[in-house]
Amino acid sequence: MVEEALGRKVSLGLDLIGDIAILRLPQVSREEEAKIAEIVMRVHRNVKAVFKQVSPVSGEFRLRRLEHLAGEKRLETVHREYGCLFKVNVAEAYFSPRLHHERFRVARLVSQGEVVVNFFAGVGCFSIMAAKHGKPSKVYSIDLNPAAYRYMKENILLNRVVGIVEPMLGDAAKLAEEKLERVANRVLLPLPELAQHYLPYAAKCLKARGGWIHYYDFVEARKPREALKEALKLIPEQVEGFKLQTVYGRIVRSVGPGRWQIVLDVKAEPLKPV
């Protein structure tokens, strides 16, 4: 429909977060932007506001600059995903609807009574999904962004997981050393840009008998199979008293030509008998 309206082929990206649409557009005129926004609202009838992304996701809090194109001039919405509700301001906190399957996959791996630590938790998506669809006794949900932390607390209430998900504001490395050492059966590292640096801190959180680390990163490769081979090289043989073995890996999504986001499910076992 977009191509018909503009009379030429265009490549665009679309994120639907609650009733807000965020477009990644090529170089088009203001008039063409307005037409595209109108089409999005016509096709996706639940969409009440359309924004254009005018900068890449960047910075300490993983934010992007947005420009209003059509509909209501608001940035706050509630996103629904696998029976969970996530309230978010799309300009103040990181949120990717494209990770919905991955969040659900990991949540279903969480066994009865597990303690989970979620680094870089944002508004609490992985944490709350784990609490709702897994069987944890506790999920420690950490983020450095005060706005994300504020929404995380709201979402814990919205999803009725108070007492299971514990929100924590601060740097995950510092909290791992000061409050979360040897508490977890499972640790999530869903920030590719920092996963390698924070891997030792994730291991610090694991109980002495070991556990699981879900490791996310970006890999450059021509094809998905090559990307997974390269990804396996990112995990050291051992860290913080544990030997590491990658049990499962997959491509989460393509993030550009020859660039892939991957996840590795890594089993950590103690180097010495416990």
pLDDT of residue 26: 81
Instruction: Give the whole-angstrom CA distance, residue 209 versus residue 226.
Output: 33
pLDDT of residue 7: 54
Domain annotation for the chain: domains and CATH numbers? 2-74 (3.30.300.110), 80-270 (3.40.50.150)
**CA dihedral sign, ordered 164, 171, 268, 217:** positive
pLDDT of residue 196: 97
pLDDT of residue 12: 84
Q: Which residues of the chain have pLDDT under 50?
A: none
pLDDT of residue 55: 94
pLDDT of residue 8: 56
pLDDT of residue 62: 94
